[in-house]
Amino acid sequence: MGPEKLKEVIKEALKDAEVVIAYKEGFDKLHSTPCFVTTPEEADAVIFDPRCVQNLASYLPSLKKKAAVVVKGCDSRTIVQYMQEALIDRGKVTVIGIPCTGIVSIKKVMAKTGHQPILDVTFPDKNTVVVKTPKGEQKMAMADVAADKCGSCLYPTPVVYDQLVGEPIESDKTYETAYKDVAELAAKSLEEKKAYWEKEFDRCIRCYACRNACPMCVCQDSCIAESRDPHWISQKSNPTEKFMFHMIHALHLAGRCVECGECERACPMGIPVNMLKRKINQDMKELYDYEPGVKPEDKPPMFTFSVEEKKIEEHKL
Ligand code: SF4
Ligand code: SF4
Ligand code: SF4
């Protein structure tokens, strides 16, 4: 997909939408930044390539304007989930979908360069990243620096769109291969799992970046992590309180996490915070044959109630 085609589509969308949410180059060549395009001239600065990591759909619930938004496959699931939860008015949103071959993890690229200043980044083909620093040019395999979520991507082509910019791409994964890491961790003993999460959450500094970046964390100012009345969690930096925060986060995302990976991208401590939600998603699939953010006509299981759930043997609970 050439960026010229995307610019054309954005200019066309501006005839109806007040704003188009897209990407432009950020403070250096490795970073992109979300941009809010309101004029055809601004559309000329738009880019789309593996640097475009942010989930732009996150802006929609609080935007009180008729908008268009550029989405990758994973991010498009946010739109579907918003539709299911009536958090957006679909009639006021134009979805510009882009089939996606993967994005880079900025942290992985920086680590490979030894945290050198970035002079230029190019993508000669979908498998290669070339980074220029003051120390010279470095060629990297996309597979080595891709975001973790791309390794288990089931939906490279957006699941919902008004306009698709590019040819659809099929995932080469199955549900089983995509969730292999979750199943492996789940198969460990209770003690091993406890030790794993204690080690991971020990690094948590309770900065709440994972929550703030999450498009489905919509309680905003009334988040129980910071509520003083009632006061559910203290600010103490101990394992109990950290676990409590993460359990609440995971449970509030039960059947709602669209696996956009924004929580993990935002975490400054490299904690695999999406693993818990993906485990719950796997349970949702098994119990209700439901995947968050995939079919607009679905109802999230936690939004419905049935006295006798078909796949839950209630007497054993
Ligand atoms: S998870 Fe899929 S759609 Fe999302 S960035 Fe990676 S390859 Fe693209
Ligand atoms: S928990 Fe993480 S992966 Fe899931 S929707 Fe929120 S930010 Fe995206
Ligand atoms: S972003 Fe990371 S460090 Fe911050 S609260 Fe979330 S898990 Fe903890």
Residue with token string 């991010």? 75
Nearest atom of ligand 2 to the alpha carbon of 261 = 3
What is the per-residue pLDDT for 307? 75
Q: Which of 152, 137, 140 is closest to 102 using CA atoms?
A: 152
**Ligand 2-lining residues (CB < 6 angstroms):** 213-216, 253, 257-263, 274, 277
Q: Which residues of the chain have pLDDT under 50?
A: none
**What pLDDT digit, counting tens, does each position of 45-59 carry?**
999 999 999 999 999
Query: What is the Å distance from ligand 1's center to 160 Cα?
Result: 14
What is the per-residue pLDDT for 190? 96
What is the per-residue pLDDT for 138? 97
Give the amino acid at 143.
A
Ligand 1 neighbour 153 (Cβ under 6 A): yes
Considering every ligand atom, which ligand is closest to the CA of 200?
3
- For 263, the enclosing helix (H) or strand (E) is helix 262-266
**Residue 47: phi, psi to the nearest 5?**
-125, 160
Half-sphere exposure (Cβ direction) of 59: Cα atoms closer than 13 Å = 21
What is the per-residue pLDDT for 235? 82
Give the amino acid at 40.
P
Query: What is the Å distance from ligand 2's center to 277 Cα?
Result: 8
Ligand 1 neighbour 72 (Cβ under 6 A): yes
Query: What is the Å distance from ligand 3's center to 50 Cα?
Result: 25
Q: In angstroms, rounded to a whole number, what is the distance separating the alpha carbons of residues 45 and 61?
A: 25
Q: In angstroms, rounded to a whole number, what is the distance separating the alpha carbons of residues 98 and 80?
A: 15
Pick the residue whose CA is nearest to atom 4 on ligand 3. 207
What is the per-residue pLDDT for 74? 97
Pick the residue whose CA is nearest to atom 1 on ligand 2. 257
Query: What is the Å distance from ligand 2's center to 220 Cα?
Result: 15
**What pLDDT digit, counting tens, does each position of 88-127 carry?**
999 999 999 999 999 999 999 999 999 999 999 999 999 9
Nearest atom of ligand 2 to the alpha carbon of 278 = 4
What is the per-residue pLDDT for 206? 92
Nearest atom of ligand 1 to the alpha carbon of 73 = 3
Considering every ligand atom, which ligand is closest to the CA of 208?
3
Ligand 1 neighbour 95 (Cβ under 6 A): no
Could you tell me if 261 and 286 are in contact, meaning their C-beta atoms sit under 8 angstroms apart?
A: no
The overall pTM is greater than 0.95: no
The structure tokens listed for 251 are 């449970």
